[in-house]
Amino acid sequence: MGRKISLFPVVVAVLLLILQAGLAFSFLYVEENDPLPHLRFQEFVSGELKDFDGGLKRPLVLIFWGADIDTKRERAIEVLGYMQEALPFYQERNIELAAVLVQPEQVSLVEEVMARVQIDFPVYVDSERHSFDKLGVYVMPSILLVSGDGIIHRGLGYTHNLGDVLHGEIKVMLHEKTREEVNAELHPEIVERTTAQRQARLDYNYALNLVQRHKVDLALESLSMALDKDPEFVPAMVEGGCLLVKKKKFKEAEGFLARGLELLPGFERALTCMVELRAAEGQQGQNDKAARKTDPGSWGFFADDDEEERDPAP
């Protein structure tokens, strides 16, 4: 008889892959453009039941949070505090805002959390576990955005820039901005590259590989090819300067590094290599001086000993 195989590790592995891939939608059982399933939560203070479903009269934002471990608790406090600060943003747009504790067995911790963050929107307890059974929430805190007609717009998990992402998604949901406009605001550094620029980056990456293999001259050639394709590609420019410092070609190195800092002030790699350049130049100067002092054939050998050169006595 074959062994019974547990699917639990597989499920865990899949969830880890989802999280590592940075999947934005943080609910397993619903998707964008799905109607909101019927949800019922219990108001924390009054104990009254509240129903949410597709018959909404205005947009809805639900914050699902847990408190069974320190990380969840601290992130819940952070997100709830942010939502309180941003409350005017939601009120101006007539958006209903509510927090939902997804772990009813941890209800005793609600007062602890509420003592650390004062909020002016309702807090519910998911006593019937609808957040797990109907939505499939797997990241806490998570936020569900629902349009005024009861259609799910987006599900967001915790992230360091949640505030900016959330406001952008709400503006898209309310047709205040297009997704392209929001993406441009969130990621201004992402621009469409030309074919030559993309090839330059391939040359640059190949050069880094060559450096790891101690093939400095070949790496410099590859960096030169990258700059031929994209003359203002700062990383290739700076890396070339750094390699030239090691080859003691100080004048050329300074040209690359200075140009890199001109295009991208404060670039750490360029600043580090510029310090190395100055140190190497100083060491070279000391070596040159020592060579002049100890080489009888060099100019000023005797003068350095504070004695004037004199013709031999007749």
CA distances 83 to 29, 224, 247, Å, are 25, 50, 55
Q: Which distant-in-sequence residues (6+ apart) come within 8 Å of 21 by Cβ?
A: none
**pLDDT tens-digit map of 45-93:** 899 999 998 788 899 999 999 988 888 889 999 999 999 999 999 999 9
Burial 155-173 (b: 16+ CB within 10 A, else e): bbbbeeebeebbbbbbbbb
The 10 Å Cβ neighbour count of residue 203 is: 20
Domain boundaries, given as residue ranges, for the chain: 23-186, 195-291
Band (pLDDT 50/70/90 cuts) for residue 219 is very high
Q: Pick the range with the lowest mean pLDDT from 53-62, 275-284, 302-311.
A: 302-311
Q: Among 24-28, 47-51, 280-284, 310-314, name the most confident range.
A: 47-51
- Cβ atoms 9, 17 nearer than 8 A: no
Q: Is it the case that residue 197 has pLDDT exceeding 90?
A: no
CA distances 112 to 46, 76, 127, 299, Å, are 18, 12, 19, 82
Residue whose C-alpha is closest to residue 139's, from 72, 193, 52, 194: 72
Residue whose C-alpha is closest to residue 167's, from 143, 141, 139, 140: 143
Band (pLDDT 50/70/90 cuts) for residue 110 is confident
- The better pLDDT of the pair 292, 196 is held by 196
pTM: 0.55
DSSP 230-261: -TT-HHHHHHHHHHHHHTT-HHHHHHHHHHHH
**pLDDT tens-digit map of 235-273:** 999 999 999 999 999 999 999 999 999 988 888 889 999
Residue whose C-alpha is closest to residue 254's, from 265, 263, 241: 241
Q: Is the peptide bond before 141 cis (omega within 30 degrees of 0)?
A: yes
Q: Distance between CA atoms of 4 and 281, rounded to whole angstroms?
A: 70
The 10 Å Cβ neighbour count of residue 99 is: 28
Helix (H, G, I), strand (E, B) or coil at 154: strand
- What CATH architecture is 195-291? Alpha Horseshoe (1.25)
Instruction: Give the CATH superfamily of 23-186.
Output: Glutaredoxin (3.40.30.10)
- Cβ atoms 40, 51 nearer than 8 A: yes
